[in-house]
Structure 1
Amino acid sequence: MAIDPKELRRCLGHFATGVTVITCRGEDGAPHGATVNAFTAVSLEPPLVLVSLDRRSRLCALAGSRPFTVNVLEAGQKELALHFAGRPNQEVRWARGNEWGVPRLAGTLAHISCTPWRSYDGGDHVLFLGEVQQFRVHPGRPLLFHEGQFHQLGEEHRPLLWDRSADGPDGGVSFFSAVTAGRV
C-alpha cells in the first residue's frame, strides 16, 4: 500500500506539539532562525536534545556546524512563529547573547543553547542532536500546534499531579492514580 504524503501529514498533525524557533548565526554572522515543532528531549547523561530540520532549509545547512538555540515559544508568540516560518511580519527582539555567541529570542517560555553533537539522515529531514550547554525557563504558557493550527492551553487547564504514592517496588508508577482517586 502506497502512503499518501498529504494524508500522512494530516494524520501526524493530530499529535499536539509545542512550537520552537531554532536560531544560530548565519555565515555572515547575523542571527538566523526557523520555526520547528519537531523537537524532543533525548538524554540527560549527556544532556541531549533533537531537532528535525527539512534538508532543503537554510537552517539545515547551518545547524550541523555551529551552536544553536531551541527557543520554546510562549502562548502569545504566534506571530513570531509565523515570522520564522517564512511569513516575515515583525521586527525580531533578540535577547542578550551567551558566552558562545548563540542568538536567542527575547520573551520565550524557555531557551536551550546547544553545541552540535551528531546528525543523522532522516529522509527529507536531517536529525540533529545538540548537547545542552545552557538553558533557562521563564514563567508562562506554551504555544501549541495541532492539526495545522496554533493553540493555547485553556484557562481551565490544570496539570495532572504525579502521585508518587503509587510507586511500586519495581519502580513503576501509575500516573492515572491521581485521576482515579478523584484528586484532580
Structure 2
Amino acid sequence: MDKKEFRNCMGRFATGVTVVTTETEGVTHGFTVNSFTSVSLDPPIVLVSVDKNAKALQAMKHNNFIANVLNENQRDTAMHFAGKPKEQLPFEWEETGLGARIKGSLAHIECVPWAEYDGGDHVLFLGEVKAFEYHPGQPLAFYCGQFSNVSPLVQS
C-alpha cells in the first residue's frame, strides 16, 4: 500500500484542529493534533493519537492533558505548536487545576490519563474528562493537508 496515497485519502476526512497541552517538571508542552475524538460519554473519555517519533510522546505518557479546540482565528497558534514557532507568542496561557490551556480557544477538554494503546506508528492516549468548557464561534478545520473553514449549512 502506498503510504502517501493512503494519507491523501484520509485527508478527505475534514477534522478540527486542536493543540494538546501537558506539563512535565513545571514546563508546559504543546503540539498540534487533528487526530482527536470523543470515545465515551459515560464515563467521558477522549482519544489523542501521537506519532511515536513526536517530541511530545514522552510528555504525554501517564500525564494529564488538555485538548484546546482552536477557532478559525488561531492558525498562527496551530502553526506555532506544529513546529513553526513565532518570535512573539500568538496566544496567551490560562492556568487550570490540570495544567495550562490556550486562552480564547473554542473549547477546552481537561483530562487525566485513562489508558494508552499501541496504534502502529502512533500511540493512542485515552483521557478521562474531568472538566470542559466551550464557547461560540467557528472552528479551525483541516482538510486535504491545509487549514480550512467550516460553513454551517442553511436549514431548509
Instruction: Quote the residue 1:113 is aligned against.
Output: 110
* Ranges in structure 2 where 5+ consecutive residues have no aligned partner: none
Aligned length: 155
| Runs of 4+ residues over 6 Å off in structure 1 | none
Instruction: Quote the residue 1:173 is aligned against.
Output: none
- What are the residue-to-residue correspondences of 1:1-184 with 2, within 5 Å? 3-26=1-24, 28-89=25-86, 90-100=88-98, 102-154=99-151, 157-158=152-153, 184=156
Give the TM-score, by structure 1 length.
0.80
Partner amino acid, structure 1, of 2:143? H
Structure of greater Rg: 1
Q: Kindly, what percent of the aligned residue pairs are identical?
A: 49
Give the TM-score, by structure 2 length.
0.94
* Ranges in structure 1 where 5+ consecutive residues have no aligned partner: 161-183
RMSD of Structure 2 on Structure 1 (CA): 1.3
How many angstroms apart in 2 are the aligned matches of 1:159 and 1:116? 39
Q: CA deviation at 1:94?
A: 3.4
1:70–1:112: 8 Å Cα contact kept in structure 2? yes
How many angstroms apart in 2 are the aligned matches of 1:57 and 1:30? 17
How many angstroms apart in 2 are the aligned matches of 1:159 and 1:119? 40
Q: CA deviation at 1:92?
A: 4.7
1:142–1:152: 8 Å Cα contact kept in structure 2? yes
Deviations 1:116-175 (A, max 9, x none): 100000011000000000000011100000000101124xx3366xxxxxxxxxxxxxxx
Deviations 1:74-118 (A, max 9, x none): 001111111100000241533431223x11001100000000100
2:44–2:128: 8 Å Cα contact kept in structure 1? yes
Higher strand share: 2
How many angstroms apart in 2 are the aligned matches of 1:152 and 1:133? 29
Partner amino acid, structure 2, of 1:104? R
Deviations 1:54-86 (A, max 9, x none): 011121111122110000000011111111000
